[in-house]
Amino acid sequence: MRPRDQAIDVWGELACFTRPELKVERFSYPIITPSAARGIFDAVYSKPNKNPAKAEFRWQVTRIEVLASPNHLGIEPSASPTYIALRRNEVKDKVSTASLMAWMRGTKDPQPLWADGDRDSLGTDMKGRTQRQTMALKNVQYRLHAEIRPWPGYEHLQQGFEAQFRRRAASGKCFYQPYFGCREFPAYFELVEPDMPGPQTVPWDQEIGLMVYDVFDLARPGSSEDAPSVSLFRAMVENGVLRVPDYLSSDVLKLQEAGALC
């Protein structure tokens, strides 16, 4: 059975899809990446499993549209992506799952992650944060198109997967708050009909060059604990539309296959 096109409108005040070649000072791509779009669909509906053999499907992003109509924030879009410079504090550490469970059981006292320390009060001069300059996008609005691709053995559940996604998206349900590249940049969404006339796209053309496609191997079932597997593709925005090739096509460069990663 051929997968049906699923579409959602997403919008937010800020977004940052970091270019990997400029990671020290974060600089966003001018448009959302396929991996970030896939993450938004996963937030609405997914069935993750640590056992890859029990994975049921994955999302294949097919098309990204930059919308030209006023977004849900009541802001008129510009003719091209608009950047804003920010200075952000990024934490360098995170709490382990084992520590969190011990705090919940009451077997261990909670310990904060210190942004800054001084020897008088904390006994240390260690800093737990890093200040970084960020060139983020502001007032973004996209229409994302994707298909559910069942893994072998689950093809007969295609219609059920699609129906569950539509029910969840129509009622605004999500497993976690979708975000635009960074968790502090929330993304809001609503289900739309992909075959109905929609808002116009921004009259914007740009050859972006090589763009990150994804950071996981989408050719096989996997889990969030898998090692990174970076892939790239040549991105071209035409009249506000970015067409995303199939992950298995020759248009997607898998760096590990090409021997570019050690």
Cβ pair 194, 6 in contact under 8 A: yes
Give per-residue pLDDT as tens, 20-72.
987 678 899 999 999 999 999 999 999 877 787 788 999 999 999 999 866 66
Listed residue (52, 7, 45, 19) closest to 191, CA to CA: 7
In this structure, what are the phi and psi dihedrals at residue 53, rounded to the nearest 5 degrees? -65, -20
pTM for the full model?
0.85
* Residue among 124, 102, 123 at smallest CA distance from 111: 102
Tally: H helices and E strands in the chain = 3, 10
Phi, psi of 93 (to 5 degrees): -125, 165
Tell me the C-alpha to C-alpha distance, in Å, between residue 204 and each of 19, 93, 196. 20, 40, 22
Q: Is the pLDDT of residue 260 over 60?
A: no
pLDDT at 256 over 90: no
* pLDDT reading at 262 higher than 80: no
Query: Which residue's entry shows tokens 């001018």?
Result: 30
Average pLDDT of the segment spanning 244-262: 77
Domains defined along the chain, listed by start: 6-84+132-254 (3.30.70.2660), 93-127 (no CATH)
* Predicted confidence (pLDDT) per residue in 111-162, tens digit: 877 777 655 555 555 666 778 889 999 999 999 999 999 999 999 999 999 9
Mean pLDDT, the chain, rounded, equals 86
